[in-house]
Structure 1
Amino acid sequence: MSEKLKIGISIGDVNGIGLEIIIKTLADTRIFDYCTPIVYGHTKVASFHRRLANVHDLNFTVINHPSQAQHKKANLINCWEEDVKIDVGVINETGGKYAFLSLQRATDDLVSGDIDALVTAPINKDNIQNEQFSFPGHTEYLQDRDGAAESLMFLVSDTLRVGVVTGHIPVSKVAESITIGKILAKLKLMNESLKQDFWVRKPKIAVLGLNPHAGDNGLIGIEEQAIINPAIEEARANDILAFGPYPADGFFANGTYLQFDAVLAMYHDQGLIPFKQIAFESGVNFTAGLNFVRTSPDHGTAYDIAGQNKASEVSFREALFTALHIVRHRRENEELNEDPLKFTKLSRDRD
């Protein structure tokens, strides 16, 4: 457990704030006490953004493979050979092309086990589309690379954890996409992740309704009565402590979320808007339910401030440390499953 974990970092859109927040994070050399970072990009692109961020004392050690990574150093793997024309703050094909090359190489090493976790800088979900990336976002791409039947977009912070039943789909398709089986699958993933990844022994999960006022007993919609309630009942029959459905507005406004270990929202904005309002600076996007660990900051490419040295690295740094914690929690769980007697000592040490 004392061995330094190798954390891969994909750079995201080269015209966005990805490399700025990566460089600012790695400029604090204390990070090397906790992990060995490996950035997937290109030295010239990194140097360009380092100058814009006014960081002069960070040097990248170029390697060809994670096995060559140097501890106490910021390592970098060149994922392409050609020069790249960077247009800071501009949405174009170049930004998407090199974001994908970075992500693809990093994911190759993640799937093969050559790195211990992946932290992804923000991409533009439109310009990254190509023959090999026909997904609405990181979550779906990584689920496909893992070969997993399901995954959970799980936004986490110290005070709030929110997952979603439906992710990157149009609002017009949300209602038809919500089924008892879908909700139950997400609840199972969330419950297992809370236990395995966050060490919550008996997770309490709140489930939000779909309609205003959670349907008002069928007056404003029947999904709560026909779909969400039965899913909650089935979850409880499977020893998952699920409660609800709760009206989303009052649930967050009056602080009810503080009584639960996590919240399952029905659709993207229902969960992410309150999450970002409550935990924007410290929030992390975690893809739960996969065999590997991937996290990211809970914000986008921020083209409007790219290249202006205004981007905060706080969420990215939190994403990196969250990845470290989850990997270690999973490994501790594996050790405890192999030797249950260790649990008593570990619990005593934590107390």
Structure 2
Amino acid sequence: MKKEQKIKVGISLGDLNGIGPEVVLKTFAEAMMLDFCTPVIIGSVKVLNQIRKELDVELSLHGIDAFAKALEGKVNVLNIWKENISVEPGVETAEAGKYALESFLTGVDALKNEEIDALVTAPINKANIQTEAFKFPGHTDYLAQELTGDAMMLMVSESLKVGLLTDHVAVKEISGKITPELITKKIETLYVTLQRDFGIGKPKIALLGINPHVGDNGVIGDEDDKVLIPTLEKIRATGKVVYGPYAADSFFGSGNYKNFDAVLAAYHDQGLIPFKTLAFGKGVNYTAGLNKIRTSPDHGTGYDIAGKGDADHSSFREAVFTAVNIYKHRSEYDVLTENVLKVSPRKPGGRGRSRNEGGRKYDKNS
């Protein structure tokens, strides 16, 4: 019987002067990680060995010059930089932004060309990564342009999933961007993601209101009454289990989020503040809705602790596990769906239920 090939996970290093390289090295210094995937870190063996020695991380790195040469059981490093690079922990530099961008773009190209199965991105600095050719507020927006599908920022932890109607949008622009079309599209994306990527057969979703107290019957604002509520009624008529809108100020504190498979927040801070309060250090940022898989940790560059060896790599490790989990769930779902269509060609709407319908997390100890 042919041995099953391990999932190949590309790793972009993020800002070299931040904690990205540290959390990457610490993650793969754990020998068990190689039981679940074949990592390919995109950068430079020379630079990583320099950082590794300064942080006193015991790890053997295997240099390669092509993704196809990655070996199972090794921490592979795709060498894309030949020049000497000055690493200055905690300092924002144009040079660090340049190499962070090169690592990320190489990873995205590899995803598109199916040279890797998933991409996990270490944190970037959104300011120093900007160029004439790259003018995006973050990873997600670029991925949305380069890949197929409707991208959604989805924060994921063991007990909580929070998606966003709007993400990197100025507060003054939020209400104008939330339309019936956007709500419908985002709920559809989230619904399919929960089924296909997390193995949840009949997702139950909660939507948070736009205004405080869901507008208090129009006293504080009428967007919830005029936009959210009528749209949700139409969506529920299609059979989807979607409730709301809920007042955001009490939704998480009351524990109501535990009654749902996922929560859809109206804007960035409404969703990410409670998520990071409840799951910081264990959470993962997943770009849902695309034809390829990308995850990242739930933190930033961490300039204040860079180079000190104090960075917690738990979130990055979870980002790797989440990418592996999603790849496995998605592959199973697609095979089962294809088989259903073959058996019942006249019923293309038939459900392909994953045998992992309960949303079981991939067992790290198996």
1:90 and 2:91 correspond: yes
Superposed counterparts of 1:124-135, under 5 Å: 124-135=125-136
Deviation at 1:296, TM superposition (A): 0.4
User: What is aligned with 2:261?
Assistant: 261
One-letter code of the match for 2:232?
Answer: I
Deviation at 1:60, TM superposition (A): 1.2
Question: Residue by residue, what CA displacement relative to the aligned partner does 1:286-315 show, whole Å, maximum 9, x if unpaired?
Answer: 000100000000100010000000000100
TM-score normalized by the length of structure 2: 0.91
TM-score normalized by the length of structure 1: 0.95
Superposed counterparts of 1:332-351, under 5 Å: 332-340=332-340, 346=355
Deviation at 1:59, TM superposition (A): 1.6
Retained in 1: the 8 A contact 2:337–2:353?
Answer: no
Decide whether aligned partners of structure 1 residues 225 and 194 sit closer, same or farther in structure 2, where only a CA change above 3 A counts.
same
In structure 2, the residue corresponding to 1:22 is in which secondary structure?
helix
Matched residues in 2 for 1:34 and 1:101: separation? 26
One-letter code of the match for 1:140?
Answer: D
Retained in 2: the 8 A contact 1:188–1:240?
Answer: no
2:22 to 20, 23, 26: 20
In structure 1, the residue corresponding to 2:334 is in which secondary structure?
helix
Retained in 2: the 8 A contact 1:184–1:234?
Answer: no
Runs of 4+ in 1 over 4 A off after TM superposition: 343-348
In structure 1, the residue corresponding to 2:310 is in which secondary structure?
coil
Superposed counterparts of 1:110-121, under 5 Å: 110-121=111-122
User: What is aligned with 2:13?
Assistant: 11
User: What is aligned with 1:217?
Assistant: 217
One-letter code of the match for 1:274?
Answer: P
Matched residues in 1 for 2:153 and 2:356: separation? 29
User: What is aligned with 1:72?
Assistant: 73
Task: Indicate the larger mover: 175-184 or 290-299.
Answer: 175-184
User: What is aligned with 1:173?
Assistant: 173
Matched residues in 2 for 1:168 and 1:27: separation? 34
Matched residues in 2 for 1:244 and 1:339: separation? 35
One-letter code of the match for 1:71?
Answer: E
User: What is aligned with 2:289?
Assistant: 289
User: What is aligned with 2:198?
Assistant: 198
Matched residues in 2 for 1:157 and 1:345: separation? 20
Decide whether aligned partners of structure 1 residues 222 and 4 sit closer, same or farther in structure 2, where only a CA change above 3 A counts.
same
1:49 to 31, 48, 51: 51
Quote the sequence identity (%).
47
User: What is aligned with 1:140?
Assistant: 141
In structure 2, the residue corresponding to 1:253 is in which secondary structure?
coil
Superposed counterparts of 1:145-164, under 5 Å: 145-148=146-149, 150-164=150-164
In structure 2, the residue corresponding to 1:238 is in which secondary structure?
coil
User: What is aligned with 2:32?
Assistant: 30
In structure 1, the residue corresponding to 2:290 is in which secondary structure?
coil
One-letter code of the match for 1:59?
Answer: S
One-letter code of the match for 1:179?
Answer: T
Retained in 2: the 8 A contact 1:122–1:301?
Answer: yes
Deviation at 1:169, TM superposition (A): 1.4
In structure 2, the residue corresponding to 1:339 is in which secondary structure?
helix
Matched residues in 2 for 1:103 and 1:309: separation? 24
Q: Structure 2, unaligned stretches of length 5 or more? A: 344-351, 361-366
Retained in 2: the 8 A contact 1:162–1:265?
Answer: yes
Deviation at 1:147, TM superposition (A): 4.2
Deviation at 1:13, TM superposition (A): 0.3
Matched residues in 2 for 1:155 and 1:326: separation? 14
Deviation at 1:345, TM superposition (A): 10
Deviation at 1:234, TM superposition (A): 2.1
Deviation at 1:333, TM superposition (A): 1.0
One-letter code of the match for 1:49?
Answer: I
